[in-house]
Structure 1
Amino acid sequence: MGFVQNQSCALFLVLVLLPVSIILGCEERFQSTKAVYYITSDGLGTPNGACGYGEYGRTINDGCVAATSAFYNGGAGCGACYKVRCKKTECNPEGVLVVVTDHGGAGDADFIMSAKAFNKMAQPGFEKELMTYGKVDIEYRRVPCQYPGKTLTLKVTENSNYNSYLSLQFLYQAGSAEITAVEVFEEETQKWRPCRRAYGAVWDMPSPPKGPLTVRFFLDGSSEHVKPRWVLVPTVIPAFWQPGATYDTEIQLDEY
Structure 2
Amino acid sequence: MPFQRQRICLPSGFALLFFLLPFPGEGNNITDLHWHPATATWYGSAEGDGSDGGACGYETLVDVKPLRARVGAVSPVLFKDGEGCGACYKVKCVMDQRVCSRRAVTIIVTDECPGGYCANGRTHFDLSGAAFGRMAVAGLGPDLRNRGEIPVLFRRTPCKYRGKNVAFRVNEGSTQFWLSLLVEFEGGDGDVGAMYIRQSGSADWLAMKHVWGASWCFNGGPLRGPLSVKLTTLSTRQTLSAPDVIPGNWSPKATYTSRLNFG
TM-score, normalised via structure 2 length: 0.78
Instruction: Tell me which residue corresponds to 2:81.
Output: 74
2:222 matches 1:206 = no
Instruction: Tell me which residue corresponds to 2:14.
Output: none
| 1:1-256 mapped onto 2 (5 Å cutoff) | 27-40=32-45, 43-59=48-64, 60-68=66-74, 69-87=76-94, 88=96, 89-105=98-114, 106-107=117-118, 108=122, 110-157=124-171, 159-176=172-189, 178-187=191-200, 190-208=203-221, 209-221=223-235, 226=236, 228-254=237-263
Runs of 5+ unmatched residues, structure 2: 1-30
Instruction: Tell me which residue corresponds to 2:9.
Output: none
The CA RMSD over aligned residues, in Å, is: 2.1
Moved more, 193-202 or 206-215: 206-215
Identity of aligned residues (%): 29
What letter corresponds to residue 82 of structure 1 in structure 2? Answer: Y
Q: Which runs of 4+ in 1 moved over 4 A?
A: 187-190
What letter corresponds to residue 243 of structure 2 in structure 1? Answer: P
Report the structure, 1 or 2, having the larger helix content: 1
Deviation at 1:50, TM superposition (A): 1.0
Deviations 1:109-162 (A, max 9, x none): 6111111111111111101110110111111100001111111111112x1333
Work out the CA distance in 1 between the residues paired with 2:53 and 2:200: 36
Aligned residues: 223
Runs of 5+ unmatched residues, structure 1: 1-25
TM-score, normalised via structure 1 length: 0.80
Deviation at 1:171, TM superposition (A): 0.8
Moved more, 77-86 or 173-182: 173-182
2:160 aligned counterpart, secondary structure: coil
Deviations 1:71-119 (A, max 9, x none): 1122121111111110122111112111000111424561111111111
